[in-house]
Structure 1
């Protein structure tokens, strides 16, 4: 799996390099502000999303191609929950992502502003993300683990906690976005995509009344062990989704 990620990542980097060397139509125009002319193709942006908060610097090679180098990190979560095989875990997120993307604008020379702003991103990221997972099961509660239902009595309680990590991964990325000006040199953008990470490293542990029997006859402890195995092996956990929005400033 790691070899496949590296092959795909190498392919993404080759494509990025190819778009750079193949470019023969440099963007050169007078800036709205008194910045040096060599900064004309450069823009910076601030962004926030599922991979944290941060920013990027972009170089518009020509109307059809831009290169972006960025970083996302920190603890950002829209819901502070992560649903895995029916189990909703409280999540503590710690992101650390660096990426290099080529952004392809198929209609970069169009007179239509919306069409001109659409792009496809392809690139590679260095991911070092850790997620703390916790699930508290109080008395008279129902929890679903690995597709099995567990119900506690008034005197029973249990806890599931652990970690899920994408450590030191070199991962290829593909995404789709919109980057459009709104006022002079100020613009907004949004992007959705996914990294191909391979399965994460997972550790889940139970404590408390973890021997309660579920609807399929398994103990809570054994169901958690099976859920950990599924996360480490199911193909649907090989992709890490990305969604982010932000603002840009062009020199």
Structure 2
């Protein structure tokens, strides 16, 4: 029993944040009295009696102190941007450097709904994004200006669709009639398993606990794998305008809808916008 009490008191002494005092702490255990020449917080130490009565409270208080110390530099953030909706947790190493771990994803088709590849406008029909990331946020001037860098582990599937502009599709610098090609439907997936990123931004504090932030930058996702097919009711062969501007009819053409889709697929895979994926995000931060 004495060993248990002595162990509890030792834990209380180590966890205490009170200043050291000259008066001893006395632990009374039946016939023995043990004196410790250190101080304890008021709720642990009875000044009049000179003894520690609440060793359980001391241990709980110590655990709470250690927990508060561990989470004190921590923060949580919520964000929305081109990588999707997400959140991250952060831990400050010092006043200018912060480590981050987060995730952004979901269906981003309502964040960005179209993009152009050469002269073809694609609409994002569905986008299933998953972008866990690890990074560091630095404040080079120890103010609101930030520079971020890290690694994303992308798993992004994008379904797109193009119907042409007006009556024609311009694919490979050739004009095809939209009603003969039909609809170009495709899917895109990034090849990189790891994507380094770099951002710059601002992170002003609006109170002791709350702050806001905005970032812009890019992630190198690498080349994309694309699949494009022509769907809908249309002829097998398609007509087009030749270099002289003369119309070549479908029954005189050796170009199929599949040929047009294959050319669109190659252009989609060569699109630089998908290789260097833009990062734009805004959000709010709560610091513990």
Shorter-chain TM-score category? 0.7 to 0.9
Cα deviation per residue 1:182-232 (whole Å; 9 max; x = unaligned)? 233111111111111210111111133463333456665434312322333
Query: Post-superposition shift, 1:75?
Result: 0.5
Which of 90, 101, 108 matches 2:135? 101
Q: CA RMSD in A?
A: 2.6
> Structure 2: where are the runs of 5+ without partners?
1-64, 244-254
Cα deviation per residue 1:107-157 (whole Å; 9 max; x = unaligned)? 11xxxxxxx11111111110000000112359x62333344433346xx56
The aligned counterpart of 2:237 is: 211
Alpha-carbon distance change, 192 to 95 in structure 1, aligned in 2, over 3 angstroms:
same
The aligned counterpart of 1:17 is: none
Q: Is contact 1:175-1:193 (8 Å) kept? A: yes
Cα deviation per residue 1:72-127 (whole Å; 9 max; x = unaligned)? 1100233421322221122111100100111121111xxxxxxx111111111100
The aligned counterpart of 2:149 is: 122
1:151 aligns with 2:177: yes
The aligned counterpart of 2:78 is: 46
Which one has the largest radius of gyration?
2
Cα deviation per residue 1:46-75 (whole Å; 9 max; x = unaligned)? 001111101001111112211110101100
1:72 aligns with 2:92: no
Alpha-carbon distance change, 88 to 129 in structure 1, aligned in 2, over 3 angstroms:
same
Cα deviation per residue 1:18-69 (whole Å; 9 max; x = unaligned)? xxxxxxxxxxxxxxxx982332211100001111101001111112211110
Alpha-carbon distance change, 37 to 204 in structure 1, aligned in 2, over 3 angstroms:
same
> Matched residue pairs, number?
208
Q: Secondary structure at the match of 1:182?
A: coil
1:228 aligns with 2:265: yes
1:132 aligns with 2:162: no
> Structure 1: where are the runs of 5+ without partners?
1-33, 109-115
Alpha-carbon distance change, 191 to 210 in structure 1, aligned in 2, over 3 angstroms:
farther
Q: Is contact 1:89-1:134 (8 Å) kept? A: yes
Q: Is contact 1:213-1:220 (8 Å) kept? A: no
Give distance in 2, aligned partners of 1:200 and 1:157: 24
The aligned counterpart of 1:88 is: 121
